[in-house]
Amino acid sequence: MTGIRVWRDADCDLGLIRERKVAVVGYGNQGRAQALNLRDSGVDVVAGVRPGSATEDQARADGLTALATPEAAAWADVVTLLIPDELQADVFAADIEPHLAPGDALVFGHGFSVHFGYVTPPPGVDALLCAPKGPGHWLRANYEQGSGLACIVAAHDAARPGAFDLVLSYAAAIGGGRVGIMPTSFAEECVADLYGEQTVLCGGMVELVRAAWRILVEEGGVAPHMAYYDVLKEVKLIADLMYERGIAGMYEKISDTAEFGAYRTGAAVVGDEAKAAMRAALKDIRSGQFARDWMAETRAGKVKFLAERAAKADHPIEDAGRALAAALDTKT
């Protein structure tokens, strides 16, 4: 007994989602994978797209019916929103909400829009959450190989009885039941996902790599491409070991010298200042301030965001990566 509630294919009724008409709006990373997996699980599915977009062509090339988002929403009785989170509120209001009817359901891949109140389903329309724990290309590739990706699911508090069974059915149809489907809430998924991205995956780890690389090159006199290996490329080796074996299992696979150094230095690098920043991030996310700032930035045209992206892309570590890639015949 693990104490973790898990549903597998045998616990889910695929018939529930097969009886519905599903429009997957947004044919990107998640949208393409979910739409194709649904189709291959026998679900009646169309892609909701922006007419003339490259993804409209992609959906048709994949053999799906592609409709403009309002038409797709009108046709369907389950609408999955897989466009970028920061665009969902406006697209929902303009192109989806007018076409919903009581009994319809909305499926989200992330809790952001519902938890922070940017999308409020009309009365009689259930909000469901189905978040695969990995990117779309894994979701599709694993499904094609007969496996799947773990999914976490929720029905919103305001949803009607039976809504949870429908989201279980949806998760099974995209392949989640082959591995395991676990319950969450919109709040839990949303806060945990944003916190993980900011403090570790996309924020904290990236800044750690940049700072460590710069110090090693500028103060340690190490060649930029050498430092690139030691503080960036090898992240993947350790991340793969942690993914497969956990942290203690990873330590079993590295040298005792590396492990001794880890105990000596790691906790000092992530000291009180870093922990205070993590707590501040958690507060910022839970209060909704992060979401408000991101929505304001989006509605102002993402000017500051795009300037920051350009500035970060100018960091000398990128030159080191390009030089290394050009010098070697391998991408790894």
Ligand X SMILES: NC(=O)c1ccc[n+]([C@@H]2O[C@H](COP(=O)([O-])OP(=O)(O)OC[C@H]3O[C@@H](n4cnc5c(N)ncnc54)[C@H](OP(=O)(O)O)[C@@H]3O)[C@@H](O)[C@H]2O)c1
Please report, as ranges, the residues that interact with ligand X according to CB under 6 A. Answer: 25-31, 48-50, 53-55, 69, 82-85, 87, 91, 109-110, 131-132, 135-136
Shortest reach from residue 77's CB to ligand X, in Å: 18
Shortest reach from residue 273's CB to ligand X, in Å: 29
Catalytic residue (one of 110, 115, 156, 225): 110
First to last CA, the chain: 40
Has 110 been annotated as catalytic?
yes
Shortest reach from residue 53's CB to ligand X, in Å: 3
| Residues β-bridged to residue 127 | 106
Q: 50 vs 160, which CB is nearer to ligand X?
A: 50
The encoded tokens of residue 44 equal 């009646």
Shortest reach from residue 138's CB to ligand X, in Å: 8
Shortest reach from residue 87's CB to ligand X, in Å: 5
Q: 30 vs 142, which CB is nearer to ligand X?
A: 30
CA 170 to chain centroid, in Å, comes to 17
Shortest reach from residue 328's CB to ligand X, in Å: 28
Q: Cα separations (Å) of 294 from 48, 114, 218, 325?
A: 25, 15, 34, 34
Q: Which residue is nearest to ligand X (CB)?
A: 28
Q: 132 vs 177, which CB is nearer to ligand X?
A: 132
Rounded Cα distance, 82 and 110, in Å: 9
Q: 131 vs 154, which CB is nearer to ligand X?
A: 131
The encoded tokens of residue 269 equal 């690098």
Q: 110 vs 178, which CB is nearer to ligand X?
A: 110
Rounded Cα distance, 130 and 174, in Å: 10
Q: 50 vs 210, which CB is nearer to ligand X?
A: 50
Calculate Rg over the CA atoms of the chain. 22
**Which residues are catalytic, by number?**
110
